[in-house]
Amino acid sequence: MSDPVKRSTFYGRRQGRPLRKKATELVETVFPKIRISLEGMQEGGTLDLSRIFAGSGGPVWLEIGFGGGEHLAWQAENNPEANIIGAEYFINGVASLLGHLDENGADNVRIYRGDVRDLLPFLPDSCLSKAFLLFPDPWHKARHNKRRFIQKETLDRLAELMVDGGEFRMATDDMGYLQWMLERTVPHPDFTWIAEGPLDWDRRTDDWPQTRYEEKALKKGLKPGYLRFRRNARG
């Protein structure tokens, strides 16, 4: 059956170096079991998260572009009550996450391989307790800024998807993108910056593990920014 979902234009790599044997085996055998598919979904349809997570009634989290999967796998292992969706287009990243899950044994993760913007319309409103956007591509050139995930329309949709009091975390090592994030999220009526002061953006909380992209940034002498926003209570 063809997929009637209108796909967003994806800008980025779909695959890097060839996968090793173990990674290929995981992609072929494990990935199909935990994959979220939009095949057959009609416009206006909604995914059944209870079915996707085998009846688990735990909170649902979403990581947008999980890279190598280090953060997502850590969260899954340390928060077994949470049902975590990871969205990533890069097949090498999917394989990396599968490897981490194979090592730690976490079974509370489902993967959407694709642009998360295609997934968001099919998630039920008020379903997310946490969302993460960690070290996304900053798209430095001004003409490419429209490719950044943080836009008014995506923030509007995230606000619809998040429960009251839900938390949205962002991180970047690009100060231009950090400013972009703040300029668009701080004034958004549905979000409040969880900060002790105007410069409270330079440290992670204890339940926020380092990613390999962050490690690379620190080795380059870059200073990442970390942002936490709370979804305001609905009136």
Annotated binding site for substrate: 141, 173, 211-214
* Closest among 77, 99, 84, 83 to 30, alpha carbons compared: 99
Tokens, residue 114: 């694709």
Tokens, residue 43: 């416009």
By the 8 A CB rule, do 235 and 159 touch?
no
> How many angstroms separate the CA atoms of 235 and 233, rounded?
6
Give the dihedral sign, CA 45/166/171/92. negative
Tokens, residue 110: 């489902």
Catalytic residues: 137
Known binding-site positions:
63, 88, 115, 137, 141, 173, 211-214
Residue 44: CB atoms within 10 A of its CB come to 7
Known binding-site positions for S-adenosyl-L-methionine:
63, 88, 115, 137
